[in-house]
Structure 1
């Protein structure tokens, strides 16, 4: 059985729909399943937002210590500053920290406004990610979800969404790669390879992004699947019925492997997380056998 067939078998065996691409960062060897198909990125797009921030810092265009006041009107709900009750003052670099480590939607939204929302699509194009579509930041994503469901806020969305018929759920823009922020698994591993080889910007900028990805606190997907001595950097994304993560696994004896995995199913979150990680491990171990 080929690596690609083995990955597809993991998805099929778990009863989920899956897309995956794995790439040896140093040799370019690759494997995957449906790796060229467009998928929704959700919070995975935060890698590009923080990369643009780090590039602007390296160029001297932004001071990472610049202070920002996150107010009530900035709140989007969720982790980090997104869930705070009172105004929070912090630096731009701490916004980047919360964006990557706990996937703070408010921090990402405020940071995106500061670096310039029109600049991130230009960055994707500059890096050759021509199938990557940026349709705004977390605020725009949540607004489309609320609008499509007819909810005024997150609480009303949580009440209305479970009762929607399948055809209404499938029609939400946030689940359509053609109408929301999206890319392909192959382009996401290409992005990670550029970051890990210091080719996505100045070495200091790439190093900053790598450092933040290694500090991500969510460890139930890629990190949970690999042996304890493998260092895993990652950035997750989550939507109802969807789980995704992009990251790089660094083996102690050498070898760096970029992985972008996306799964979709009505199965419990634990099943999605475990299947994503298992498929990633199968792909990476297959590539290691080719070394």
Structure 2
């Protein structure tokens, strides 16, 4: 077995396993090949000249995804080789491309399972040895030889002892200070697909050693992906975990962070695979109910009851909290087309525009339409103004007709106890609710062109593509440039999002996340939605239809 190395201390576990005879112990004749550059490391591994190597953490991702025009060459990470490194890691999202199977390559991991185990056992023993600080001087003496790093041992010893200096008078020593966490950068789910700690577990079940002083569990090791690792070539058919239970488990771990109830529906349209977590329970839709309102508007247009060019007079009484129409209404006589009202409702979730459109469509008509589509759980009962007043414990009959300025004063004067009791009642009442599964069902009908006709469905999607709010939710952690047609909703303890994600290669993902009575801060709820979305995106990009 040829092991490629770069003349950096990162190669130490491989070099020490070779020098201490651990490879030989497990039946591996090891040859160390010092390479001139990281490019050479990558290329010789891809071509098979070297069978194993250490790499900067970004390289296997770039190779697997074929970034920046490079050939797609799938790789897997069986083990985090060490936690040292010299790179600066920037907080950038990975720009993902399609992953193609290298069908003509027989995976090394499939062909030689005993070899893989031996490869992992040897540097594992070497790592246990060099994790002990008292052995670091021996390590520095060996890896500094001309065949490896080729430098005076004292230059490397300080770093190997974990000594660091900020340059401003602060200095210290911690052998673990180089640990970095990819989960901080929103890349954990992708890392879980490429990093295979399961191979490590198979190889060294009887040799495990958590290291000096700080036990690291398997899950923590996966979460704490470091800068430099050991990689093996493997085809995608052998590498990608196809069991959708993996995605479900990731989502179930995220839900408790909202500190309340949450329901999730995810569906890959092209393959029909889906994940449903609490998806048959009804949740307050909040402003996501503007999607079924929009659907009914299009059905009424098809029936000749209205046109998107029809103009509607907007009066001061039409201005409700949570809108921008008040900025346009500087005097009597403002008229807006239904098309413009839809734009306001879908782009900035304007409540005034939504209530005007709901007045045109009729709440009972929207609910009846959803039932005719087989989506019985979706019901629209109140205007947004009624919902806002109900959640604050104010009677619509008494306060619904107040001028906007006075209404805002009344809302601001509601005491905390009244608001809390009203919120409890708001979450119990089954009005303006839907299950995540049925909301996803509505998205699927829109995507498939089943709402009126293909042209009408495409118009609805275009309105949803131009949402100007909710960037921290479904789109929040997706690769830059990913197209998302979605609608958010927020009220009381609910932070929601529902939308269609356009995947690389032309596939589509439907995602609905509803929450209820959530106690976590709004920013944390949004982050959970973003992580659910990213986990789903990564899973289906690497497990597309038919694979």
TM-score, scaled to structure 2:
0.49
In structure 2, how many angstroms separate the alpha carbons of the residues matched to 1:234 and 1:70? 27
Compared with structure 1, are the counterparts of its residues 272 and 236 closer, same or farther at alpha carbon in structure 2 (3 Å cutoff)?
same
In structure 1, how many angstroms separate the alpha carbons of the residues matched to 2:328 and 2:507? 40
In structure 2, how many angstroms separate the alpha carbons of the residues matched to 1:165 and 1:56? 40
Q: Secondary structure at the match of 2:511?
A: strand
Q: Which residue of 1 aligns with 2:102?
A: none
TM-score, scaled to structure 1:
0.90
Q: Does structure 1 conserve the Cα–Cα contact (< 8 Å) formed by 2:283 and 2:434?
A: yes
Partner residue of 1:56 out of 290, 300, 303? 300
Q: 1:163-182 alignment to 2 at 5 Å?
A: 163-164=416-417, 168-173=421-426, 175-176=427-428, 178-182=429-433
Q: Which region of structure 1 is more displaced relative to structure 2, 55-64 or 250-259?
A: 55-64
Q: 1:49-128 alignment to 2 at 5 Å?
A: 49-81=293-325, 84-86=328-330, 87=332, 88-128=334-374
Q: Secondary structure at the match of 2:390?
A: helix
Partner residue of 1:227 out of 479, 485, 498? 479
Q: Which residue of 1 aligns with 2:253?
A: 9
In structure 2, how many angstroms separate the alpha carbons of the residues matched to 1:106 and 1:179? 23
Q: Which residue of 2 aligns with 1:158?
A: 412
Partner residue of 1:210 out of 441, 461, 467? 461
Question: Number of residue pairs matched?
Answer: 288
Q: Which residue of 2 aligns with 1:239?
A: 491
In structure 2, how many angstroms separate the alpha carbons of the residues matched to 1:266 and 1:166? 14
1:274 to partner: Cα distance: 1.1
Q: 1:279-290 alignment to 2 at 5 Å?
A: 279-290=532-543
Q: Which residue of 2 aligns with 1:190?
A: 441
1:126 to partner: Cα distance: 1.2
Q: Does structure 2 conserve the Cα–Cα contact (< 8 Å) formed by 1:31 and 1:287?
A: no
In structure 2, how many angstroms separate the alpha carbons of the residues matched to 1:149 and 1:172? 13
Q: Does structure 2 conserve the Cα–Cα contact (< 8 Å) formed by 1:244 and 1:262?
A: yes
Q: Does structure 1 conserve the Cα–Cα contact (< 8 Å) formed by 2:482 and 2:501?
A: yes
Q: Which has the higher contact order (CA 8 A, sep 6+)?
A: 1
- Structure 2 unaligned segments of length 5 or more: list them: 1-244, 400-406
The structure whose Rg is larger is 2
1:14 to partner: Cα distance: 5.7
CA deviations over 1:212-264 (Å, ceiling 9, x no partner): 00010011211112111321111000013321010010013221011001234
Q: Which region of structure 1 is more displaced relative to structure 2, 133-142 or 22-31?
A: 133-142
Q: Which residue of 1 aligns with 2:380?
A: 134
In structure 2, how many angstroms separate the alpha carbons of the residues matched to 1:138 and 1:224? 26
Q: Does structure 2 conserve the Cα–Cα contact (< 8 Å) formed by 1:246 and 1:260?
A: yes
1:16 to partner: Cα distance: 5.0
Q: Secondary structure at the match of 2:467?
A: coil
In structure 2, how many angstroms separate the alpha carbons of the residues matched to 1:242 and 1:278? 17
Taking only aligned residues, the RMSD between alpha carbons, in angstroms, comes to 2.3
In structure 1, how many angstroms separate the alpha carbons of the residues matched to 2:249 and 2:255? 10
In structure 1, how many angstroms separate the alpha carbons of the residues matched to 2:327 and 2:412? 16
